[in-house]
Amino acid sequence: MNRLIIFTMAIVITMVSAALALDNSALIGKWTLIENALDSEGKPCPFVGQQIEFTVDGKMISANMPAPFRYKVNPAKTEVEAALARKPELKGMDIMLAMMGNSQNDWSKAPIVYGVQLKGNQFTMKVPGYTPALYKKQR
């Protein structure tokens, strides 16, 4: 009986974790900034644009980016560990990795790391050293 309860709990936890994982397809589209990221002095983050677009082919586009970035959500455990070793303040958040379009393909060395969260039509993106930025999906 105890084994059945433990087994059932393990399945439920796995299903909940999968449901909470950031879904790449839910990001596709244009997002508008509704709350800017700020540093400890209240200055806005230069890495957060007024609009951000996620494309079907895996690109992240914003006016403040020199070129579209490739991005990856739900990275492998080793990629997350490597990212958190460099950016420990993002611990406890979902991780999004990004790199310039022609950069190497080793995501564990991705130079750009965001802490992210998606809830319905609101997307939170945290740049290390700043408060989280909040976006709303355009309809």
End-to-end CA distance of the chain: 49
How is residue 97 written in tokens?
């990795």
- The chain-wide mean pLDDT, for the chain, equals 84
Give per-residue pLDDT as tens, 16-39: 333 345 777 889 999 999 999 999
Spatial CA neighbour of 83 closest among 69, 97, 94, 71? 97
Q: Is the pLDDT of residue 7 over 50?
A: no
Cβ(20)–Cβ(14) below 8 Å: no
Distance CA 18, CA 13 (A): 9
DSSP H stretches of helix in 49-123 = 77-86
> How high is the pLDDT of residue 100?
84
Give per-residue pLDDT as tens, 65-92: 888 899 999 999 999 999 999 999 999 9
Domains annotated for the chain, with CATH where assigned, are 22-137 (2.40.128)
DSSP H stretches of helix in 21-74 = 24-27
The neighbouring-strand residues paired with 33 are: 135
For residue 83, the surrounding DSSP H or E stretch is helix 77-86
